[in-house]
Structure formats: C-alpha cells, structure tokens
Amino acid sequence: MKLTFQDYISIKIHKTDLNLTRFVKAKLEPFNLAPEQNLIMMLLWEKDGLSQNQLVETLNKDKTNIARMAASLEKKGFIKRYNCDKDRRSVRLYLTDTGRNLGNEVIPIAEEFDAIVCNGISKEELKQMEKILRKMNQNVEKLL
Amino acid sequence: MKLTFQDYISIKIHKTDLNLTRFVKAKLEPFNLAPEQNLIMMLLWEKDGLSQNQLVETLNKDKTNIARMAASLEKKGFIKRYNCDKDRRSVRLYLTDTGRNLGNEVIPIAEEFDAIVCNGISKEELKQMEKILRKMNQNVEKLL
DNA sequence: GGATTTATGTTGTTATAGCAACTATATACC
DNA sequence: GGTATATAGTTGCTATAACAACATAAATCC
C-alpha cells in the first residue's frame, strides 16, 4: 500500500482537532474555563442536574475524566455535586449561580467560535462531513 | 443562533479523533508504542536523523511534547538522541536497530488501521473531507 | 567583534485521556 | 432473603497537550 505520513486521514483529523482546541482554549481562558470543562458546562446549561454517568455517555469519555473535570468545576465554584437520593451511587451536578451566569458570557463565544470554524463552508459540505465522521466512528466502534 | 451541544462540528471532530486514537492505541499496545510516539517513529522510518525542531514543525505540536516523547522513545530503546555537530543547540533523533525493525511490524498495522477507518468511504469523499479540514485550520490559524 | 535578538531544548505546571484496581450501592438470580 | 453480578464513582498510573520561564547556542546588527 505504501502510505506516507501525509496520507493518513486520521492524522489530519487529529491535527485539526488540536488546532481547534488550542483556539477555543485561548478564547475561554479569560473565564477560567478549560475546553473540556466547557463541554460539561454546555450540557448543564441545557439541562441542569445531570449525573456524572450521563455525562460519560454523552461525552463518550472515561468516567475518571468526567469525575476529575467535575471536581475541578466544583473547586472553581461553577457547580455543586450532590449524591442522588434515589441512587446513592450516583453523583448529580448542579450549577451554582456563578456557573449559570457564566453561560450568558460563554455561550455567545462558543457560537462565535463555531461560526469562525465554519466560515466559507456550505451547509451541504458540513452535512457531508458529519456523515463521513459518523461512518468512521462506526468503522472502529464495531471492532472495539 | 441557539446552537445545542450536538450542533457543534468541532465537538464531532473531537469525538471522532478520540475514538480513532483509542482504537489505534489498543492496536499499538502490544508493541509498547503509544499513538503519538508512533507518529514520531513513522517520520523517522521515512527519514532517519530528524531534529526535534523538525518534528515540532511537521507534527505541529509544542516543543515540550516532542522533547518528552523523544525522551520516552529513547528510554524504550527505539531511538538515540545526539546533539548536532553543526548546530549544538539541535538534537537529532536516530533509530536504533530495534526501532528500525519495529517498523516492519508496525507500518502494516498503521496501514490496516487506515483501511479500517476509510472502509465504505470513497476517494472523492475523502478528498472533500480533507479540503474542509484544511479550510477549518485556515479559519482558526489566521486568528491565532 | 561585542551586544542584541533569535532559535532550540529543558523544566515545571495544569488540563485532558484512558486503563486497572478498588469501594459502595443497586439489581438479578435462585 | 442471601449470594452473585452489574453499575457509579474514586484513586493511582501513564501518555498527551500547551504555556511560562529558563539555559544555551547561533545569527544579526552596528
């Protein structure tokens, strides 16, 4: 087959991901919010009181990552963690007032970021790209 | 604008990247080679004796990451690091025999991985995707 | 040719990312 | 209803990612 380094689509995706993350990291820095922490906040702004396990499934990350990010967000005062009454194993995350207010500032920045990333790319092209990404995920997931 | 979590293309790219990395990590584990370390090895298999700084530019990573991955690869016995005679600041990486031989086993696995990822995706679609990824990189790079 | 600037790497710190092993609780099984 | 199993989180470890501050060597500038 003889592929060279530049041929691998996975490497191109990886580099792009790092570039986008670096960019959004700088955008969020003034708010004392790291990129992945922001993903948790975005989900909580949509629906408060999610459990860590729900975040594990939505974000498709290891539970240890979620636990540590949640601990960090609590330390920063953006959320509070409470044990669920119905299931004592489960930990639910609730926004503090500070955390809720943060959304008013950060959500516009996230949307502006998306607009910058998608600049000059048509809706059709985006749909196409999403389809291919889905296919790639399926390709590896069925073998995991 | 009102975007929800699932609307962000950056998040989809990020998740896919993590999925692909997780997959390749498992594939490389038997060889005591981590995914990013493998990227350095792939470049050395193509051209031995690259400097850390050349890797910084090719891999588009911070020099600290490259330095630490190179240190790790040296510790594993896959490469040797020598100071360049012409430029005493520069550190060049050279494959050991072990490192060179590793390529015979790992390169086929990398190519198989690429084939798995691209399964059911046409050459046209891949080209299209690469074009969009390039555009996204440009979109953020010009603002960094 | 000596001072300033630039380039290359290293050390220290914080934030992801995932695996293994563990605790505690809940569910299933008989 | 007591045992086995499954689920939700935590702790410890390694690898990646980027930034700041630093050391050293090279290049530039006058």
Please, are residues B52 and B62 in contact by the beta-carbon 8 Å criterion?
no
pLDDT in tens, A10-31: 999 999 999 999 999 999 999 9
How far, in Å, CA of A26 to CA of A73, rounded? 18
pLDDT at residue B3 greater than cutoff 90: no
Report the residue of chain B nearest A38, measured CA to CA: B5
pLDDT of residue A142: 85
A3 found inside a domain: no
User: Bridge partners of B79?
Assistant: B95
CA of A13 to C1' of C20 (A): 29
Nearest nucleotide to A40 (CA to C1') is C16
Portion of chain B with pLDDT greater than 70, in percent: 99
A69 found inside a domain: yes
pLDDT of residue B131: 97
pLDDT in tens, B63-104: 999 999 999 999 999 999 999 999 999 999 999 999 999 999
Please, are residues B3 and A110 in contact by the beta-carbon 8 Å criterion?
yes
DSSP labels, B78-140: SEEEEE-SS-TT-EEEEE-HHHHHHHHHHHHHHHHHHHHHTTT--HHHHHHHHHHHHHHHHHH
pLDDT in tens, A26-82: 999 999 999 999 999 999 999 999 999 999 999 999 999 999 999 999 999 999 999
How confident is the prediction for chain B on average, in pLDDT?
96
Work out the minimum CA distance from B60 to partner chain A, whole angstroms. 7
B5 found inside a domain: no
pLDDT of residue A122: 97
DSSP labels, A74-87: HHTTSEEEEE-SS-
pLDDT of residue B142: 85
C-alpha distance from residue A74 to each of A67, A111, B51, B72 (Å) = 11, 24, 43, 34
B123 found inside a domain: yes
Portion of chain A with pLDDT greater than 90, in percent: 95
A2 found inside a domain: no
pLDDT of residue B1: 63
Q: Which CATH number goes with the domain that contains A99?
A: 1.10.10.10
DSSP symbol at A101: H
Domain that holds residue A33: 8-141
A1 found inside a domain: no
pLDDT of residue A143: 82
C-alpha distance from residue B85 to each of A73, B88, B89 (Å) = 49, 6, 9
B115 found inside a domain: yes
Distance of CA B86 to the CA centre of its chain: 28
Work out the minimum CA distance from A82 to partner chain B, whole angstroms. 24
Contacts of A59 in chain B (CB under 8 A): 15
pLDDT at residue A1 greater than cutoff 80: no
Question: How many domains in chain A?
Answer: 1
B79 found inside a domain: yes
pLDDT of residue B143: 82
CB contact under 8 A, B9 and A114: yes
pLDDT of residue B56: 97
